[in-house]
Structure 1
Amino acid sequence: MSHVRWLSARSSRLLSSVALRSKGCGILSDSIKTCGIRTMASKVLTLENLNPNIIKLQYAVRGPLVIRAAEIEKELEKGAQKPFKRVIKANIGDAHAMGQSPITFIREVLACVALPELIKTGNFPEDVKKRATELLNGMGGRSAGAYTMSHGVEYIRRQVAAYIERRDGFESRWQDVCLSGGASNAIKNVLQLFCNQVDGKPSGVLIPIPQYPLYSASLAEYGLGQIGYYLDEGQGWALQTEELERALKEAASTHAVRAIVVINPGNPTGQVLTRENIEEIIKFAHKHKLFIFADEVYQDNVYDEGSKFYSFKKVLREMGGAYSSNVELASFMSVSKGYMGECGLRGGWMELVNVGEGVQAQLYKAISAMLCPTSLGQAAVSCVAAPPMEGDPSYKQWLQEKTAVLRSLKERAHMIAKTFNSMEGFTCNPVQGAMYAFPRFELPPKAIEAAKQAKQPPDVFYAFKLLEETGICIVPGSGFGQRDGTYHFRTTILPQPALLQEMLNIFQNFHKKFTQQYK
């Protein structure tokens, strides 16, 4: 008997018992009412009295299409006859789920941290054993099962600070580094600091459109104002300061705009900001006294020959003067992306720059209420921040594996953009970085009318048709935000090359059929 059925049966027996034992309580329903037992019709929590921010919250990446995709998978397992044999989940940046091999050094260190006896008995390289030993020395009871400090193991925070110094060429204080359960938790922790009114107005945050739904969902959850600024699709999803000024000016009457989110490399758009563009954003933030959220989780994922990743911290420091000392910044990194793809380990970090000591103390206090990030996720952060160095036993294999993953992703980035641009009615900007393509496509008027009849946005209608007829799961552009009258979708480049080519071939055939059907 399942837990639900057991609880239901037990509740029924309890209610019957109460009714029989209660003198003068009348029939069962009366006895429930008189004796103070709440019926199913009077739940404490209902949709009417639930936190309205939770109802407002939407997260398209794991929305109705993904739920339906899971149902289809179960139908296929039960032998259902469909025009395809498997579901291809191109909706989410989950590299290992799409066949990417783990990095050996990371997994060997994790194995030894999780089972310390392997340090003595396992056939692992010496640098793996040494790293696992050092990590365990920083954990209570030398066990990954113990709580760590709320902000992470100090040894690992120091490694992250050293990584940032090597990357940027500027000092990084380990005390300003905080480990987290993936970048998402850290981002939400900082967003919570803005849950306040300023001059009688609710706080607002500038976010890019298209954007990663974590931001729109978190802003809705916390009751913060979402102030969208459009990226310029015609200019390769560039970020124009004129558009930032427009968005800020329009929001000023209703919100106290206090922060700006920048995703670089972009998700879902795949663009990589130029250094000049980053300078412009920093100047804009300084001019309007805005806190910068620099979402840099794809910093290893740059494929375009003419593109290069520049961290906001590096550019900020190089600009010097009032910019370097005054602009407040939180930058975020994760082990879920890059060449690692360790989504399930939930490891990440943030670095705080120019944040007031008192504010930082309050942030750390709030984080401590969540106890600590997962210890194995922190161990993975150690492996990313301080990978094997030349001369170490694991270095050659680590470098080969990292290079192979990034080379393959680069090939797939070119493949997917080329294919979409060859399809009638499609335009797709180059995938300069990250793990996604965000093509724009045209829909026939009859398809738009059919979507209206189905009470769905046109791009959602298209995506559901694609899923039901081909098994390919994508995310409609409306889940990320897009200009009115335009239609997009996000797809990952993560399926391994053969599967990606198969997916693109199926996609081409579907689109031809769909266009003909609604011509």
Structure 2
Amino acid sequence: MHRAQIKLCNELREISPHVKNMKQLEYVVLARRVSQIKEELRQGVRKPYKEVIDVSWGDPHRAGLKPLTFVRQVLSTCLYPELMNSNRLPADVRQRAQRLLGGCAGGSVGSYTATEGIPEIVHSVSEFITRRDGGVPSDPENIYISPGSQWALTNILNVLVNREASTRTGVLTPMPCHSATTLGIMGLGGVVVPYYLSEEQGWELQVEDLHQALESAKGVCNPVALYVINPGNPSGQVQSRKSMQEVIRFVSERRLFLLADEVYQDCIYGENSEFVSYKKVLTEMGPPLSDTVELASFHSASKGFMGECGLRGGYVELVNLDPAVLKYIKTLFSTDSCAPVLGQLALDLMMNPPQPGDPSYPLYDMETQHIRTTLVHNAKRAVSVLNSLQGFCCQPVEGGAFAFPRVYLPPKAIQKAKEVGMQPDTFYCIRLLEEAGLLFSAGCEYGQKEGTHHIRYNTTDEIKRYSKYSINKYHIKTVFSSGQIPAWLKISGQIQKDIKSNCAL
């Protein structure tokens, strides 16, 4: 055997077993087929559609929402400071760029920053949190800016997961839940302890399900944290204040660290829904809870009106942590030097948008109102269309960026999927891709109760845009029109190859 091959084999054997246990995402098979279909379309292969429409990602700009003019003007000026001499840009744009560059070493976005972020921007985040929470104080010393909220969450989990303990560390995790978090827990050597949101109750988090999850963890792991997503991803629910109070009492009684993912806090659509942060509710509950419950809350510039996913700007605020622990968290964060500077600037612009009277305010207000109207309309329209389809049941989308409808598949279709080694909802997504050129995410990737099947749909995208491809046509006629296995369930050789490849990994 060649020496390079021997070395590679040794390296593979030395890979962390926790990383090896991370399963390949179902989306990989779908993405591979999308690339093949796009190439076939470029080569002129005839299909019932002219393009593939991807509604699986939670990327606002990818879905067609336009970047905010004020944000891009300020960022452009920071990248090319000569623009500050141009009268074509509003005065407040140039002033903001000058202030932001003043916080950068050497006046350049190309310089490193402090580990926790540019001090002026960290203070901006602190002031934003205080305003948002109705005056609840926020200490800048407890805030860390990061390359996205997921990066910050992974690092906090890295502190919580004890890989040297004889009993593995568990994290109570909602089902459904975006896959990055579950993979992150597994990659760190932790155990995902699932608690299932109540779909029939609009994906409500019920405390009795948390108790059941703890019971299921006995003899398996030592649960140390509870992870919540509000608004939900991909479930789209918004937690009530009462539900949050119950969760806080639960983590206090069970001595669990509370991880609150609040990145979709600006995306609220339900008429009776309101976002309230866990920190605010915790403070309102008063001592001893407000002084003892350990909390990490996360936010990001990737979601909401900003939608700047690619700039990588997020933050975590820590509450009630021991100063000795904070020291180690800072050390851990410093391993990546600092968050991308443009992401930090985007955070500042999100926290401090133009105000009435500013030159940029009229356009900013018009753009944000348009985005809000679009998101609310799309969410309501998506639920309406999905619920009009036979075999679909979609709970109301109160917030976030996704709908997570349940799909009722006939037993024969489920059996056919199992015969080829694939989850039924992944199999369904592949057929919808093949026949209609639509790419959805399979629900099995996010966690679901046994015997149920779902798909995840990004509500940022206007569902009318691809209604001409008729989900109705490819769902009802092929799945429910007869008891026979539809013709399209016969997979092509290439997909079969992809399925086997995926199952072998």
Q: Which TM-score applies when normalising by structure 1?
A: 0.90
Q: Is the 8 A contact 1:109 1:131 kept in 2?
A: yes
- Counterpart of 1:454, as a letter, is V
* 1:250 and 2:220 aligned: no
1:14-66 CA-partner distances (Å, limit 9, x unpaired): xxxxxxxxxxxxxxx8xx7xxxxx24355255544432222322464853212
* 1:518 and 2:485 aligned: yes
Deviation, structure 1 residue 509: 1.2
Question: CA 1:451/1:165 → structure 2, altered by over 3 Å: closer, same or farther?
Answer: same
1:346 aligns to what? 312
Question: CA 1:370/1:198 → structure 2, altered by over 3 Å: closer, same or farther?
Answer: closer
Deviation, structure 1 residue 88: 0.8
3-state SS of 2:349 partner: helix
CA distance in structure 2 between the partners assigned to 1:252 and 1:384 by the alignment:
43
3-state SS of 2:168 partner: strand
CA distance in structure 2 between the partners assigned to 1:207 and 1:197 by the alignment:
19
3-state SS of 1:369 partner: helix
Deviation, structure 1 residue 238: 0.4
* 1:395 and 2:361 aligned: yes
* 1:457 and 2:423 aligned: yes
- Counterpart of 1:276, as a letter, is K
Deviation, structure 1 residue 371: 0.8
1:469 aligns to what? 435
Q: If you compute each CA radius of gyration, which structure gives the higher value, 1 or 2?
A: 1
CA distance in structure 2 between the partners assigned to 1:122 and 1:446 by the alignment:
67
CA distance in structure 2 between the partners assigned to 1:306 and 1:61 by the alignment:
35
Question: CA 1:62/1:134 → structure 2, altered by over 3 Å: closer, same or farther?
Answer: farther
Q: Is the 8 A contact 1:467 1:473 kept in 2?
A: yes
Runs of 4+ in 1 over 6 A off after TM superposition: none
Question: CA 1:39/1:295 → structure 2, altered by over 3 Å: closer, same or farther?
Answer: closer
2:123 aligns to what? 158
1:284 aligns to what? 250
Question: CA 1:484/1:108 → structure 2, altered by over 3 Å: closer, same or farther?
Answer: same
- Counterpart of 2:471, as a letter, is F
Question: CA 1:511/1:455 → structure 2, altered by over 3 Å: closer, same or farther?
Answer: same
1:322 aligns to what? 288
Deviation, structure 1 residue 391: 1.4
2:498 aligns to what? none
3-state SS of 1:292 partner: strand
2:85 aligns to what? 120
Question: CA 1:471/1:347 → structure 2, altered by over 3 Å: closer, same or farther?
Answer: same
CA distance in structure 2 between the partners assigned to 1:348 and 1:126 by the alignment:
27
CA distance in structure 2 between the partners assigned to 1:166 and 1:140 by the alignment:
28
Question: CA 1:199/1:180 → structure 2, altered by over 3 Å: closer, same or farther?
Answer: closer
Q: Is the 8 A contact 1:199 1:256 kept in 2?
A: no
CA distance in structure 1 between the partners assigned to 2:26 and 2:69 by the alignment:
29
CA distance in structure 1 between the partners assigned to 2:278 and 2:50 by the alignment:
45
The 10-residue stretch of structure 1 (309-318 or 74-83) with the greater mean CA deviation from structure 2: 74-83
For 1:106, which of 65, 71, 79 is the aligned residue? 71
Structure 1 unmatched ranges of 5 or more:
1-28, 33-37
- Counterpart of 1:265, as a letter, is P
Percent identity, aligned pairs only, is 40
Deviation, structure 1 residue 182: 1.1
Deviation, structure 1 residue 123: 1.6
Question: CA 1:201/1:436 → structure 2, altered by over 3 Å: closer, same or farther?
Answer: same
Question: CA 1:380/1:437 → structure 2, altered by over 3 Å: closer, same or farther?
Answer: same
CA distance in structure 1 between the partners assigned to 2:414 and 2:63 by the alignment:
32
Deviation, structure 1 residue 399: 1.4
1:66 aligns to what? 31
1:320-361 CA-partner distances (Å, limit 9, x unpaired): 011111001111111111111111111111111111111111
Question: CA 1:115/1:199 → structure 2, altered by over 3 Å: closer, same or farther?
Answer: closer
CA distance in structure 2 between the partners assigned to 1:101 and 1:189 by the alignment:
32
* 1:299 and 2:265 aligned: yes
CA distance in structure 2 between the partners assigned to 1:142 and 1:372 by the alignment:
16
For 2:450, which of 474, 481, 484 is the aligned residue? 484
Figure out how many residues of one structure are paired with residues of the other and give that number: 482
CA distance in structure 2 between the partners assigned to 1:264 and 1:183 by the alignment:
14
For 1:509, which of 473, 478, 484 is the aligned residue? 473
1:87 aligns to what? 52
Deviation, structure 1 residue 472: 0.8
Deviation, structure 1 residue 495: 1.8
Deviation, structure 1 residue 126: 1.4
Q: Is the 8 A contact 1:493 1:500 kept in 2?
A: no
RMSD: 1.7
1:17 aligns to what? none
- Counterpart of 2:485, as a letter, is Y
Structure 2 unmatched ranges of 5 or more:
487-505
3-state SS of 1:201 partner: coil
Q: Is the 8 A contact 1:61 1:213 kept in 2?
A: no
2:491 aligns to what? none
CA distance in structure 2 between the partners assigned to 1:343 and 1:71 by the alignment:
26
Deviation, structure 1 residue 385: 0.8
CA distance in structure 2 between the partners assigned to 1:459 and 1:448 by the alignment:
9
2:342 aligns to what? 376
CA distance in structure 2 between the partners assigned to 1:126 and 1:177 by the alignment:
30
Q: Is the 8 A contact 2:163 2:189 kept in 1?
A: no
For 2:235, which of 257, 265, 269 is the aligned residue? 269
CA distance in structure 2 between the partners assigned to 1:414 and 1:296 by the alignment:
21
* 1:219 and 2:158 aligned: no
Question: CA 1:347/1:39 → structure 2, altered by over 3 Å: closer, same or farther?
Answer: closer
For 1:137, which of 102, 121, 125 is the aligned residue? 102
Q: Is the 8 A contact 2:26 2:426 kept in 1?
A: no
Q: Is the 8 A contact 1:202 1:225 kept in 2?
A: yes
CA distance in structure 2 between the partners assigned to 1:445 and 1:46 by the alignment:
44
1:424-452 CA-partner distances (Å, limit 9, x unpaired): 11110001110111000111121112112
Q: Is the 8 A contact 1:59 1:217 kept in 2?
A: no
Question: CA 1:385/1:59 → structure 2, altered by over 3 Å: closer, same or farther?
Answer: farther
3-state SS of 1:491 partner: strand
Q: Is the 8 A contact 1:426 1:440 kept in 2?
A: yes
